[in-house]
Structure 1
Amino acid sequence: MIRLFLSLCSILPLKINHIFGALIGKSLYIFGSEAKRVSAQNVEICFPELSLKDQKSLVKNALIHTGKNLTESGLIWNQSFSKNVNYVFDFNGEHYLDNQKKTILLVPHIGCWELTGRVLANTRKVTFMYKPLRSQKQNDYLFKRRNKGNLTMVSADKSGILKIQRALKNRELIGMLPDQDPGEEGGIMSPFFNKEANTMTLLAKIANKNDLQVLMFWAKRLPKGRGYELNLEPVELDLNGDTLEDHVASMNRCVEDLIRKMPEQYMWSYKRFKATHSYN
């Protein structure tokens, strides 16, 4: 059923695809879905200064973008990298990729993150680390569509870290999503919107060990299905100090700053604070 739905989404023009996705997002809001419940709690945690009316408005708009993210993923996954590139309206900061330093990409769950690695992989070799899904069928489906051409997907485990190191040695681009709960062994508690969140340490460790250039990378979703604006921006991990804890805190702050610029496009439906917060 899910595969049929995503196949349908893949044949819709992007403008129609996003209208369809917006309708799904509005339904998630109207019918009191779990996505709405989790998003509302996360928005309340992260934006306590907003009025209840403004929080509800942000949740509604965020769910509309969640719907668009769902439908556009079917489109992106089922098309070639070269066709994916056609959706890019503008690409800011691409010159940072010409730096002589090896580069790691920090890719938060904001905008159309599925597009980022595929656009780069159209002309460059890119290795992305991912967290496998619980459903083996869904995992196999996504892996088949993500792991192709110049784009290599590696799991977040010891074998994946070895592949990351090998890719670095070959001067390939490396990408990581920094705002997932990494579990008990892969993270430390670090401030995120003034609340402690279990945060991955791997990106900071690899960046420091290999003296890498760290670039924040995101694809802003443009209105009315016009496409996407890609952005690369340097990130300094040592702004708060020299320890691993300081660098992880800096990473979280950079992600937070980006979210504040376009909060409606962030994936608020993810239980980011599950290590310290009970989602009711």
Structure 2
Amino acid sequence: MSRSTYPRSFAHPRFWFTWMAIAGMHIAAWLPWRLNIALGSGIGRLAWRFAKRRRHITDVNIALCFPEKSPDEQRRLVKQTFIANGIGLMETAVAWCRSPEDFRHRVACIGEENLARAQAQGKGVLIIGVHFSPLDLGGALHSLFFHSDAVYRPHNNPLFDRFMTRARLRVFDQMIHRHDLRSVIRRLKAGHSVWYSPDQDFGRDASVFAPFFGQQAATVRLTAKIARMTGAQVVPLIFYRNPDDRTYTYEWLPALEGYPSNDEVVDATRVNAFIEQAIRQHPEQYLWLHRRFKTRPEGEPGLY
């Protein structure tokens, strides 16, 4: 449903379910941690059983990217992915409705000096993130250590978008629409850091094909373009939930050297290699529910 089809007043009955969802997120954010994890796991299991379209997409992605796994191992990873993303919904509620300070004790950091060193150069830093299930919680907790902006995709539901954007603006300096390249460039040239996740399929016109888990994947050109236009350092960031389901880890890797090059495919391959490396650490936490390979090279049939 597009924004133009929604009524103007948030009191309209069409928004009542949205208001209930927002209230539910506020309640969930204050539940005991173990209960939150259990509820998220339950949501994930229900989605695994009943969200057949998303399960099909995940089945295809896992089979393509992990051919070395047996069919039983692939099925387990698919189920684990749904559970991890169910937990991610509860983590999002926490991120949007509570203070990051409440969870400082749950975070361990590796490589802070890499981002600090890049920021010290004063040319801006493009922080490359990955769509792991605790992504929004990662953004909130990141504000405990470094200031940054974030690139985002607005939600079609204007009420939910307002709730989401206001929550994110509590922890990010600015939220930048994913199509607002001018603002990204302006902020980087002013020396700011911008969190940006280039690991989704944005279509043929915006992409080049580069290897990702052994597959040719449509990979956005924009990462290298932004770095070239601004001189910004590009720092990869990994944020994941630890196996105890109670703590989290940040890993800021060293800024990419010699990036960008004069070859778009080489640049896209380097970014994909980092993203693949991050995913292989905790493959169940990645957003495999997304049609990562929906755009195919000319002449190849669709995969989904």
2:109 corresponds to which of 65, 86, 91: 91
Aligned residue runs from structure 1 range 184-195, under 5 A: 184-195=204-215
Deviation (angstroms), 1:60? 1.0
**What residue ranges of structure 2 are gaps of 5+ in the alignment?**
1-19
Q: Deviations over 1:20-44 (max 9, x none)?
A: 1111112222335333221111101
- RMSD between aligned alpha carbons? 2.3
1:249-264 residue pairs with structure 2 within 5 A?
A: 249-264=269-284
Q: Is the 8 A contact 1:26 1:60 kept in 2?
A: yes
- Aligned twin of 1:82: 101
4+ residue runs of structure 1 moved beyond 6 angstroms? none
Aligned residues of 1:238 and 1:246 also touching (Cα < 8 A)? no
- Aligned residue number for residue 135 of structure 1: 157
Establish whether residue 12 from structure 1 lines up as the match of residue 31 from structure 2: yes
Max radius of gyration: which structure?
A: 2
Structure 1 spans left out of the alignment, 5+ residues: none
SS in 2 for 1:190: strand
Cα distance in 1 for partners of 2:163, 2:94 equals: 14
User: After superposition, where does 1:55-74 map in structure 2 within 5 Å?
Assistant: 55-74=74-93
CA distance in 2, matches of 1:94, 1:271: 32
Q: Which amino acid aligns with 2:112?
A: E
3-state secondary structure, aligned to 2:63: helix
Residue 126 of structure 1, CA deviation: 1.1
Which amino acid counterpart does residue 110 of structure 1 have in structure 2?
F
Distance across 1 between alignment mates of 2:138 and 2:244 = 20
Q: Are the equivalent residues in 2 in contact too, given 1:76–1:115 (CA < 8 A)?
A: yes
Q: TM-score, normalised by structure 2?
A: 0.83
Which letter maps to 1:92? I
Partner of 2:176: 154
Moved more, 117-126 or 93-102: 117-126
Q: Which moved more, 1:51-60 or 1:26-35?
A: 26-35
Quote how far apart the aligned CAs of 1:94 are.
0.8
8 A contact 2:224–2:260 mirrored in 1 = no
TM-score (structure 1 length as normaliser): 0.89
**Corresponding residue for 1:202?**
222
* Aligned residue type for 1:52: P
What is the rounded CA distance, in whole Å, between the counterparts of 2:204 and 2:156 in structure 1? 17
Counterpart secondary structure, 1:25: helix
Query: d(CA) in 2 for partners of 1:149 and 1:254?
Result: 26
Q: Distance in 1 between matches of 2:147 and 2:260?
A: 32
Distance 2:260 2:170 in 1: 38
Kindly state the Cα deviation for residue 84 of structure 1 after the two structures are TM-superposed: 4.4
Q: Take 1:105 and 1:57, find their aligned partners in 2: how far apart are those partners?
A: 32
Residues 238 and 250 in structure 1, CA contact (< 8 A), matched pair in contact too: no
Paired amino acid for 2:203: G
Q: 1:251 Cα shift?
A: 0.5
The question of 1:225 aligning with 2:245 is answered yes
Are the counterparts in 2 of residues 240 and 250 from structure 1 also a CA contact under 8 Å? no
Deviation at 1:5, TM superposition (A): 2.7
Query: Is the counterpart of residue 49 in structure 1 residue 78 in structure 2?
Result: no
Question: Matched residues, percent identical?
Answer: 26
Structure 2 match to 1:126: 148
The equivalent residue for 1:35 is 54
**CA–CA distance in structure 1, aligned partners of residues 146 and 93 of structure 2:** 23
Per the TM alignment, residue 263 of structure 1 is displaced from its structure 2 partner at its CA by 0.7
Counterpart of 1:109 in structure 2: which amino acid?
H
